[in-house]
């Protein structure tokens, strides 16, 4: 079996929606921390929180894919897309994988996350990445 290393980075956080925005925020000393009055209503001592804008995946993923992805997987999806693009991996490369290689990706995602649910979400994100690249290439 051949070993594969994906050397791509992706991020979606309170200080930026991609690597460039995060880098700029770090250089400028931005924290992404806000005062959220809703937290006080829920009984938290502090209203301070890191605000992460929910990604808009309309037009990127089809309706069914958007409905099936939980909120945390939406953030993971956006970061995964950036990481795969950063690594130079496109949808065609993923489609060309043999079934055994796809199974290896699945097993590795499950091992790294130690959660089958998170591994399923990661697999969905990788599959959805193929849809995203196809849409981007059509534009």
Mean pLDDT of the chain: 79
pLDDT of 18 strictly over 90: yes
Beta-carbon contacts of residue 52 (< 8 Å; ≥ 6 apart): 12, 13, 14, 32, 75
pLDDT of 8 strictly over 70: yes
pLDDT of 131 strictly over 60: no
The structural domains of the chain, with segments of one domain joined by +, span 8-53, 55-138
Per DSSP, the residues of the chain read: ------------BTTBSSHHHHHHHHHHT---EEE-HHHHHTT-S--EEE--PPP--BTTB-HHHHHHS-HHHHHHHHHHHHHHHHTT--HHHHHTS-HHHHHHHHHHHHHHHT-HHHHHHHHHHHHHHHHHHHHHHH-
Predicted local distance difference test score (pLDDT) of residue 1: 59
pLDDT digits (tens, 9 = 90+) for 86-109: 888 777 887 787 888 777 766 666
Predicted local distance difference test score (pLDDT) of residue 96: 81
pTM of the predicted protein model: 0.66
- Per the model's pLDDT, the better-predicted residue between 42 and 91 turns out to be 42
């Amino acid at each position: 079996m051949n070993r594969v290393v994906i050397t791509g980075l992706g991020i979606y956080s309170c200080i930026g929606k991609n690597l460039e925005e995060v880098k700029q925020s770090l250089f400028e000393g931005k924290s992404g921390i806000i005062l959220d009055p809703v937290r006080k209503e829920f009984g938290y001592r502090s209203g301070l929180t890191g605000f992460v804008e929910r990604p808009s995946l309309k037009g990127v993923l089809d309706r069914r894919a958007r409905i099936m992805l939980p909120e945390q997987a939406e953030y993971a999806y956006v970061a995964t897309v950036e990481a795969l693009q950063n690594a130079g991996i496109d949808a065609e490369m993923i489609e060309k994988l043999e079934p055994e290689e796809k199974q290896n990706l699945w097993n590795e995602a499950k091992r790294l996350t130690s959660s089958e649910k998170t591994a399923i979400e990661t697999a969905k994100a990788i599959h959805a990445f193929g849809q995203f690249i196809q849409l981007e290439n059509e534009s």
